[in-house]
């Protein structure tokens, strides 16, 4: 662990960083070093894993607190394994966060205060990761592989911590409870207190011949590649949860979950509003005046759309069922096509003369009713007419 960098240093932060600052820094760095953007770059891959590991700890209030107090020994069950004080939690001997609870238990146990036994089943940690997909992949759904570093039950001892062919024995002192009770006579009477069994460290079992793979912890850290099904219709910054794909639980407890936050790349032509697909298409002055059939992009391929004559810039046309598919359904949102009329530039003398001629022969009230109405109102206002 000597080459392991401080998690705050990895994310370019200080210990005073807020939750928002931690998340913002993580997302920026994760996108910068994402393997999709650096195919075959081993250094970027290592940095990406390092960034994810740091965020996994600092984004979790409980883990962050342990890390701030005790460093790597407070959050990694493999840290310092086999050394005095090495390991933590239900996976190893030495320092255990449960010690804090045992201190209170030893003082107040006689009055009904009970800490959570270390041999009680505990749920595994949740893991958070991010994945970046295209706009089309978000619209139709896709499958992505995600690299995960998680705690798993040791394959050689099946999580028992004992060497293959042997087994953990029930503690002869606490008889498997993980706690001992002592009665003391005081001026106020006999007071009973309970505390962690010193013989088994509160586990209720004693391992005389530990597994060499996990060093008696019953768990190891593994790097896995997990295939994630991204549902059709998912939006940017939404999360897919894979149940029981997080770290393994302790003492028979359930595994945690894997949370995949989805980042959707911006599209060249499209935006979205819920499940509606938004697209803005420029048309010429002539197309707007006379109408035309234009070719527009769609999620299922380009298609023709008839623009009626006399259309105004900013007009929105709604095309049913050509939007984004709703998750878990065959229904799709609508396609909202906005047309913008481009005013011609750099006209030739001939083109200018033709436009002036068009203006002269146009029936203003018929062809430009909105403009005519506006200037009529202005004229009346300033002339004093009512």
Looking up residue 293, the CATH number of its domain turns out to be: 2.60.260.20
Task: Residue 289: give the domain boundaries.
Answer: 270-345
34-43, 165-174, 232-241, 367-376, range with the lowest pLDDT: 367-376
Query: Can you give the pLDDT at residue 102?
Result: 36
Token match 């090495």: residue? 86
Give Cβ neighbours of residue 210 (< 8 Å, ≥ 6 apart).
161, 162, 163, 216
Residues 144 and 234 in one domain: yes
291 lies in some domain: yes
Same domain, yes or no, for 294 and 329? yes
Residues 145 and 222 in one domain: yes
Same domain as 225, residue 146: yes
pLDDT value, residue 138: 95
CA pseudo-torsion sign 104, 109, 113, 117 = positive
261 and 146 within one domain: yes
Angle at 211 between CA 171 and CA 213, to 5 degrees: 150
Tokens of 69: 């107090």
239 and 339 share one domain: no
Domain count, the chain: 2
Residue 96 has pLDDT above 90, yes or no: no
Give the pLDDT score at 169.
Answer: 87
Determine phi and psi for 254, rounding to 5 degrees.
-70, 160
pLDDT at 263: 94
Question: Quick one: 243 and 294 in the same domain?
Answer: no
Higher pLDDT, 39 or 322: 322
Are both 277 and 255 inside the same structural domain? no
Phi and psi for 226 in degrees, rounded to 5?
-115, 130
Asked if 233 and 334 sit in the same domain, the reply is no
Q: Is residue 305 part of a domain?
A: yes
Candidate from 12-16, 147-151, 321-325, 380-384 with smallest mean pLDDT: 380-384
- pLDDT for the residue 3: 64
Which whole number is the average pLDDT over 243-270?
92
- Pair 233, 331 in one domain: no
Domain-embedded: residue 290 = yes
User: Does 114 fall in a domain?
Assistant: no
Residue 41 lies in a domain: no
**Any idea which of 73-87, 117-131, 145-159 has the lowest mean pLDDT?**
73-87
Residue 171, pLDDT > 80, answer: yes
Q: What pLDDT score does 384 carry?
A: 58
For residues 243 and 129, state if they share a domain: yes
Q: Verify that 290 and 247 share a domain, yes or no.
A: no
End-of-domain residue from the set 265, 297, 321: 265
């Amino acid at each position: 662990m000597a080459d392991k960098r401080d998690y705050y240093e990895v994310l370019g932060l200080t210990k005073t960083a807020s939750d928002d600052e931690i998340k913002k820094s993580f997302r920026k760095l994760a996108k910068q070093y994402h393997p999709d953007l650096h195919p075959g770059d081993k250094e970027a891959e290592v940095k990406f894993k390092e960034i994810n590991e740091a965020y996994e700890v600092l984004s979790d209030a409980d883990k962050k607190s342990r890390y701030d107090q005790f460093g790597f020994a407070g959050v990694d069950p493999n840290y310092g394994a086999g050394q005095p004080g090495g390991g933590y939690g239900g996976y190893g001997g030495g320092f255990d966060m449960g010690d804090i609870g045992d201190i209170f238990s030893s003082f107040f146990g006689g009055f009904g205060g009970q800490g959570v036994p270390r041999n009680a089943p505990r749920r595994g940690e949740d893991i958070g990761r991010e994945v970046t997909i295209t706009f089309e992949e978000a619209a139709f759904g896709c499958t992505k592989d995600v690299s995960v570093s998680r705690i798993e039950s040791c394959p050689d001892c099946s999580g028992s911590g004992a060497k293959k062919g042997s087994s953990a024995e029930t503690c002869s002192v606490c008889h498997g409870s993980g706690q001992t009770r002592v009665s003391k006579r005081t001026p106020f009477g006999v007071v009973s207190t309970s505390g962690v069994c010193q013989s088994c460290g509160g586990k209720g079992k004693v391992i005389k011949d530990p597994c060499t793979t996990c060093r008696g912890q019953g768990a190891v850290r593994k790097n896995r590649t997990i295939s994630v099904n991204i549902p059709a219709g998912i939006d940017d910054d939404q999360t897919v949860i894979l149940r029981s794909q997080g770290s393994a639980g302790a003492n028979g407890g359930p595994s945690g979950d894997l949370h995949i936050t989805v980042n959707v790349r911006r599209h060249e032509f499209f935006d979205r509003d819920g499940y509606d697909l938004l697209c803005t298409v420029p048309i010429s002055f002539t197309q707007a005046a006379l109408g035309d059939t234009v070719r527009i992009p769609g999620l299922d391929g380009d298609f023709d759309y008839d623009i009626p004559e006399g259309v105004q810039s900013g007009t929105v046309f709604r095309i049913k069922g050509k939007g984004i598919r709703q998750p878990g359904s065959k229904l799709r949102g609508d396609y909202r096509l906005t047309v913008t009329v481009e005013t011609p530039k750099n006209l030739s003398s001939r083109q200018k003369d033709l436009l002036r001629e068009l203006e002269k022969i146009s029936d203003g009230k018929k062809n430009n009713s909105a403009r005519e109405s506006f200037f009529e109102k202005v004229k009346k206002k300033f002339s004093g007419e009512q």
